[in-house]
Structure 1
Amino acid sequence: MAQEQTLPADAESLSDRGDAIVVTGRVQRLYRAEQTTVGKAAEDPMNIPQALQVINSDLFADQGARDATDIYRNISGVSFFSYAGVTFRGFRQDQSFYDGQRGNPFIGFSVPQLFNIERVEVLKGPSGLFFGPGSPGGIINYVSKAPADTPSLRMVATGGNYDRAGISAEATGPVDDDGIITYRLGGFYEALSPYRVNSNSKSRIADGGISIKTNEGGKLTLQATIYDNFLRANRLRGVLVDNDGNFLTSIRWNANEKTDFLHLKSQAYQARYATSIGERVTFDAGVRYFNARETQQYHEPRGLDPANPDLVRREFRDQIRPVHGLSFTTNATARVYVLGMEHKFQAGADWYDEKNVLDSRILRTGVTSLSLSNPVYGTSTTDAARAALLSFTTTDTRTKRQGAYLQDQISLTRSLLLVGGLRYDKFRDGVTTSTGNIVSSRASYQDNDVTFRTGLVYKPRPDVSAYLSWSESFEPQSAASQDANAGGPFAPVTGNQVEGGLKTQLLNGRLQANLAAYRIIRRNILQVDPSLTPINGVDQLAPIGEVTSKGFEIDLSTDITPNWVLLVNYGYNDTKITGTVAGQAITNAVGNRFANAPKHKVGFWTRYQVPAIDTAVAFGGEHVSRRISLSGQTVKPYTIFDASITKGLGFAEILLKVDNIFDKVYAASGFSAQSGHFPGEPRTFLAELRFQF
């Protein structure tokens, strides 16, 4: 049955015209998030006293997004740092969640793909209540596509410059006549020879799932995904720059040889059961296991040769990184009346165990330097064989996380909500380092912490929500820093945030605008304390670092007309070191500033549909202000634009898109003086032919 539709005030009356079709815009129809699970239970975003954004697969398709880096421009307060890492409200953040659980199959240096992702949920600020230890900037949760009740088949053929070619297909629907069992099958392949010299990539994804309706309101979903990414000469560092941020050579320059590679093979398996018990109780439980192996051989740039500023020194690295993890989670909600007020009680627990091993051997002598102006490749063909004669140094990291939380959302009145919750976490970390089976160091640490979150939501009308919240986060200190000789053990790094904001879904969802202002303080950051005498030759550490992040964000999604949509976001952030010791530096900071943390970031995208010819034109852009690299070098501001045309063909649809229209040379982020800045992509063309049945 069709969902009942309340017409906007400016909609033409239908009573005088008989039957008619009411056309709604894309923001109302496709981009609007009625619910999000970023708080572990389904909830209206208007009831959450914290800034969040939800980006769904409809926007992925409209923008031709391929991987996570393609959607950052839609998220205020988030900008690119390196590989899959981002700067989030001023802080570096590398952690991602899948369906609310730990277990990222794209370990280390591969970027999450969007082929099998239904939506991306972004919770901004400390999220310790629901997700446990993590950065106070926020979290990104990838929600997987699940089997659907409605049968459909989608096929996409892809092409473009840089030898881009690919094909994907996905099918879903019921297995039996009663729809008790539904399925989803998908496959993705894409090959590309990027603009960096010698590089090439091949990405494969196989995805499948089955859902079984077990009872009234209950469903069990089983999913499996296999990833195989082979990246030739694509374990990329940056291109060297001067202190003013100017590239010293073409952005096509690459320190890697043609024989270098990164190969990621990983699998993720998960099961999730969700049910409702009556109308007021819900319960879900999930288990997720992933197993990944990343093998890489590459040439690492080590800065300019002091004797010849045209030569970049290199070393050869041979690394194997097997990682596997297992997580469990369970959540329950109950709506009850107490003293005439409705309470939504929410409780949950999670458990995670991960083993992360790095086998690394580094060849530092006899590796040929590479010219910036006239690089000659192929002179280092024996580096891999010489490195194979070295012993691996093995770093074995074990991570265990256990946590439980409780939250109550109280409807004080029809317009006023009070939210409060707490979480208890217990963690254990251990790191063992050995070379040739001889252990050189072993450190472990365990502790626990309690975090809190509270907020007040005022809704003068259903489509307007004002809120104020206070939330906490924590991060365990690295196990290597817990050495008793260094003064350990140490309490975790803590973070807390005060945030206020306004959310709207005016004009029946045609105008969705969010405003948030925040202040985050991060404390207990370890540094060497020069006032203390070293013990057994080990410098003494002390939790004497503090960072303060302040800013505000604006997000706007609106249907200017039913055929014309506009999305705009702006983020202002000022992150500074507010506590330290003279002569000491906090990780990822230079002076009193944080690396790759822009003060200003703007993103926009607008799309106009011409129904008469079944064609849409779109235009978008991004601006990121000046930043600094980890070495204090300037990362220049940049502004880039893209455009697309989408044409319906009756039996199919074709998308033609160009990114970086004006072929601007820019740095997407800064890294170090030895490795340079990460260049942004030059002008890129993409074509997609889409079939939907």
Structure 2
Amino acid sequence: MQKLIITLVFIFLINLTLQAQATLKGTITTESGEPLPGATVMVDSKGITTNENGNYAIADINPGTHTVKTTYIGFETQTKELTVENGETATLDFQLISSSEELQAVEITGRREKSYKNEVSFAATKTATPIKDIPQAVSYVTKEVMADQQAYRVNDIVKNISGVNQFSYYDDFSFRGFRSGETYINGLRVLGLFGPQPLLANIERVEVLKGPASAMFGNSAPGGIMNRVTKKPLYESRNAINFTVGSFNTLRTTADFTGPMNDKGTLLYRLNLAYENSDSFRDLQDFKSYVVAPSISFLPTEKTRINFDLVITNFDSKLDRGQPIFGATAGTDLNSTPISFAIAQTSDFQVTDVAYATLSLNHKFTDDFSFNASYMRYMYEEDLQEHRTSNQFAIDGNGQPIPTLMGMQVITRQQQWVADNLSTYFLYEAQTGPASHKIVAGFDYNEQRQPVGNAQSFARGYRLQGGGVSNSPADFPNFLRDDNGNPVPNVPHFNLEDPSYNVARISDYVFDESPRDPTKYYNYGFYVQDQIKWNDFQFLVGGRQEFYVDVTNFNQADEETTTQNKFLPRLGVVYSATDNVNVYGTYTQSFQPQGLASQTDPNAGGPFDPVTAYMVEGGAKGEFFNKNLAANLAIYYIENNNILVNANDPGNPDLLTQRGQEVAKGFELDINGRISPNLTLTANYAYNVAEITESDNPEEIGRTKENAPLNQGGFFGKYHFNSGALNGMGLTFGSTFSSARNTFEPTLRLPEYTIFDAGASYKVDRFNISFLVNNVFDKTHWVGGYSYVRLYPGAPRNYLLSVGYSF
């Protein structure tokens, strides 16, 4: 009996205890309402991490008052007091505030948001600064926009950035009417190579810092710089694979894997893979390329953080030099040849291999004092054979151009470039009375070199009667003639009316060998910058002393060094007009020495003075719809001096000339983010007057610059159904427009265009199926162009079908 009583009492106590325990559940989100998977929630000694939807549930909590704490690296820790009663199921939600500005000064870990809106830029100020607080226009495209537009290259996404348009098919753009310069990856300058364009599979976002940026980056183009930010590891596991098929025999696949490698989350990884095999609407053009991009972040303590990126890419195709049309004497009809028309031969090729590795370090000595460093080694190799236009039409027996016969040349080239880029700086945060300071002092070094063994050869011009070839008008009487009395070309002319494609017999051509002497170019600079916050004002004051060094005949007996230097100031102010809107103003300068190739080429006509520019800009930046939507307005004036352009000399296609001055002025608007939980949007508009204001050629003065539209813009939106019969469905719709643009030919102008894109998607469980039609109404248009012999048409109507799985 005694044992029975004890057993019953024990069962009663257990039951009472179970009934007395409570359950706590809730959701952890960011400021913008995005769920935070992997966040830690602690109640006393009990802890749990949130699932992929940011939800958590903790059972067996004793009744009473408890302190609930939630943490997530990169966000401020939050604690709340909660009282629970017997058997209660309590709900407690948290909205965490990003602390990325204090966490890291270089991008060691990845961006967690899944939005068209981006919060922070590192490149614009060398520190993690909210874009709203940067006194200069910064436009961007996030990976979410890229995914919804099924974009694979930068040319596919520049339509989302105000004031930016294609100049050609290469890695070559116009920023506010000024041609782009070198490429930047993670804020580090790499080689300015005109293509081919790398795939976007490992890119987190593309951002453009508008206007002169020399105070941050040294020599840079006056219209702005484009910075490509690679994907970094995340603290939570995210894995995705995607397959795409479409028009032009397109086949693509990508994979993205990321997450922690140990239980403590101090070692993170990311692996991006991509492969493409596709044709083009352009004759003889195809794309075979792949990317392998692993990344590792090591965070041993809260004070030391290290990231290593490796990117390996390969491209195997032909170099597309654009569409030729009939010459000026036959009129300026852009439709005289089809947009698919390309000049090349079947056996042409371009094979490039690019590999670059980046090592980044962020170490905090104290909460207010840190050291930051990034180093990149970038290597580029190219093997090229191409038939291309000689930039002029064939001539008849009287020396007059034949508008339907294209003069040709053949280039074979093997080259290698190596670039080293080092960025180091100290960051100190201080308080002086009511003002806070974020002081940056640093040193940058960038080096680019061509080692021994680079060479190229040219076959061009006309055969001479006594042997050999020439392209000089002075030799016209001695040109060898055919049965019709016309000069005999070294490389057969290309008949625009009756094109012929063959396996070229390279041995039939007379080549001029052109070995390239080893060269080296480097620049380095010291800079100081202070971001001052005082009441509702923020001031940005900085200066950079930059040195530029060109070395010709590097490591040879006749090595020669040329050095230039320049001090570059930067001033900016931001005023918080309301809680949601900041207004700003800025003044910046740029300095850009002419490239070594143009300075040393005996046919170019140099040497040439450096390019100098300055900009005055003002505007407003705001956040709306509960800070889910960002809108940025910029008004600017840029003056640029000493610009190099082709002289269009028929006797010397390599001859360059230098303009006196160009001016660009206008305004831009960018909108990115979410209007409602169902509707996301990116939109932009630019009004830009870019004119030649000084020139040795009086006819150029007042003329609009090449590939610089007066009006351009567009939008792209996605509406997602999350309830009802259409639950899981998504609809996308977008439009892009551009006004007419000039080329380098005064009589040739590219027409205005407006194109539309539309698509639909369906997400069920972890699967997502997307279908997109680009250029729905099959509008014939041109995205850029040089002259009658080199135009760049946009793609006709085409579709992409994508199937993805996330796990």
Mark yes or no: TM-score above 0.5.
yes
Q: What is the rounded CA distance, in whole Å, between the counterparts of 2:645 and 2:750 in structure 1?
A: 26
Q: What is the rounded CA distance, in whole Å, between the counterparts of 1:389 and 1:557 in structure 2?
A: 53
Residue of structure 1 equivalent to 2:459: 363
Residue of structure 1 equivalent to 2:627: 509
Shift of 1:310: 3.1
Q: What is the rounded CA distance, in whole Å, between the counterparts of 2:394 and 2:561 in structure 1?
A: 40
Query: What is the one-letter code of the residue matched to 2:744?
Result: L
> Structure 2 matches for 1:442-591, cutoff 5 A?
444-479=561-596, 492-525=610-643, 545-557=660-672, 559-582=674-697
Contact 2:116/2:674 (<8 A) preserved: no
Gaps of 5+ in 2: 1-26, 35-89, 96-111, 397-401, 461-488, 647-655
Shift of 1:689: 0.8
Residue of structure 1 equivalent to 2:28: 2
Contact 2:323/2:340 (<8 A) preserved: no
**2:497 maps to 1:373:** yes
Residue of structure 2 equivalent to 1:74: 160
Q: Secondary structure at the match of 1:2?
A: strand
Instruction: After superposition, give the CA deviation of every residue in 1:374-414 in whole Å (9 maximum; x if it has no partner).
Output: 32211x6212x34586523426442101012111111221x
1:609 to 714, 720, 727: 720
Q: What is the rounded CA distance, in whole Å, between the counterparts of 2:790 and 2:765 in structure 1?
A: 48
Shift of 1:342: 0.9
Q: What is the rounded CA distance, in whole Å, between the counterparts of 1:209 and 1:268 in structure 2?
A: 12
Residue of structure 2 equivalent to 1:141: 227
Percent identical among aligned pairs is 29
Residue of structure 1 equivalent to 2:80: none
Q: What is the rounded CA distance, in whole Å, between the counterparts of 1:221 and 1:158 in structure 2?
A: 31
Inter-CA distance 264–542: structure 2 relative to 1 (3 Å threshold): closer
Shift of 1:481: 6.7
Q: Which moved more, 1:614-623 or 1:38-47?
A: 38-47
Contact 1:239/1:678 (<8 A) preserved: no
Q: Secondary structure at the match of 2:215?
A: helix
Contact 1:7/1:508 (<8 A) preserved: no
Q: What is the rounded CA distance, in whole Å, between the counterparts of 2:361 and 2:233 in structure 1?
A: 14
Residue of structure 2 equivalent to 1:592: 703
Q: Secondary structure at the match of 1:499?
A: strand
Contact 1:325/1:354 (<8 A) preserved: yes
Shift of 1:277: 3.9
Q: Secondary structure at the match of 2:709?
A: coil
Instruction: After superposition, give the CA deviation of every residue in 1:106-140 in whole Å (9 maximum; x if it has no partner).
Output: 83321132110111121101111111101110111
Inter-CA distance 582–671: structure 2 relative to 1 (3 Å threshold): closer
Q: What is the rounded CA distance, in whole Å, between the counterparts of 1:226 and 1:200 in structure 2?
A: 20
TM-score under structure 2 normalisation?
Answer: 0.76
Residue of structure 2 equivalent to 1:92: 179
Residue of structure 2 equivalent to 1:41: 127
Larger radius of gyration: 2
Q: Which moved more, 1:299-308 or 1:281-290?
A: 299-308
> Structure 2 matches for 1:165-176, cutoff 5 A?
165-176=251-262
Q: Which moved more, 1:328-337 or 1:558-567?
A: 558-567
Q: What is the rounded CA distance, in whole Å, between the counterparts of 1:542 and 1:61 in structure 2?
A: 42
Contact 2:459/2:511 (<8 A) preserved: no
Inter-CA distance 328–656: structure 2 relative to 1 (3 Å threshold): same
1:305 to 384, 390, 394: 394
Shift of 1:258: 1.3
> Structure 2 matches for 1:230-309, cutoff 5 A?
230-231=316-317, 233-240=318-325, 244=332, 246-302=334-390, 303-307=392-396, 308-309=402-403
Q: What is the rounded CA distance, in whole Å, between the counterparts of 2:193 and 2:253 in structure 1?
A: 24
Q: Secondary structure at the match of 1:61?
A: helix
Inter-CA distance 131–186: structure 2 relative to 1 (3 Å threshold): same
Instruction: After superposition, give the CA deviation of every residue in 1:178-218 in whole Å (9 maximum; x if it has no partner).
Output: 22211222221110111112222101111112211132232
Shift of 1:169: 1.6
Contact 2:760/2:771 (<8 A) preserved: yes
Q: Secondary structure at the match of 1:73?
A: helix
Q: What is the rounded CA distance, in whole Å, between the counterparts of 2:92 and 2:280 in structure 1?
A: 50
Contact 1:84/1:94 (<8 A) preserved: no
Inter-CA distance 388–22: structure 2 relative to 1 (3 Å threshold): farther
Report which of the two has the higher share of strand: 1
Contact 1:235/1:261 (<8 A) preserved: no
Instruction: After superposition, give the CA deviation of every residue in 1:118-177 in whole Å (9 maximum; x if it has no partner).
Output: 111211011111111011101111111112221222111111111111222221222222
1:412 to 523, 534, 550: 534
Q: What is the rounded CA distance, in whole Å, between the counterparts of 2:30 and 2:231 in structure 1?
A: 26
Q: What is the rounded CA distance, in whole Å, between the counterparts of 2:595 and 2:682 in structure 1?
A: 40
Contact 1:527/1:584 (<8 A) preserved: no
Residue of structure 2 equivalent to 1:427: 548
Query: What is the one-letter code of the residue matched to 2:380?
Result: A
Shift of 1:22: 11
Which structure ranks higher in relative contact order (CA pairs < 8 Å, sequence separation ≥ 6)? 1
Shift of 1:266: 1.4
Q: What is the count of residue pairs matched by the alignment?
A: 658
Q: What is the rounded CA distance, in whole Å, between the counterparts of 1:360 and 1:28 in structure 2?
A: 47
Contact 2:408/2:492 (<8 A) preserved: yes
Q: Secondary structure at the match of 1:265?
A: strand
Q: What is the rounded CA distance, in whole Å, between the counterparts of 2:325 and 2:525 in structure 1?
A: 44
Q: Secondary structure at the match of 1:461?
A: coil
Contact 1:284/1:331 (<8 A) preserved: yes
Q: Secondary structure at the match of 1:226?
A: strand
Contact 1:28/1:509 (<8 A) preserved: no
Q: What is the rounded CA distance, in whole Å, between the counterparts of 1:153 and 1:355 in structure 2?
A: 38
2:212 to 101, 117, 126: 126
Contact 1:519/1:551 (<8 A) preserved: yes
Q: Secondary structure at the match of 1:594?
A: coil
Q: What is the rounded CA distance, in whole Å, between the counterparts of 1:228 and 1:544 in structure 2?
A: 38
Q: Which moved more, 1:506-515 or 1:466-475?
A: 506-515
> Structure 2 matches for 1:648-663, cutoff 5 A?
648-663=763-778
Query: What is the one-letter code of the residue matched to 2:615?
Result: Q
Query: What is the one-letter code of the residue matched to 2:156?
Result: D
Instruction: After superposition, give the CA deviation of every residue in 1:55-112 in whole Å (9 maximum; x if it has no partner).
Output: 21111112111110111111001010021111101100132100110124x8332113
1:635 to 750, 774, 784: 750
Instruction: After superposition, give the CA deviation of every residue in 1:231-263 in whole Å (9 maximum; x if it has no partner).
Output: 1x4433323255645132111112111111111
TM-score under structure 1 normalisation?
Answer: 0.88
Residue of structure 1 equivalent to 2:429: 335
Q: What is the rounded CA distance, in whole Å, between the counterparts of 1:48 and 1:211 in structure 2?
A: 27
Q: Secondary structure at the match of 1:665?
A: coil
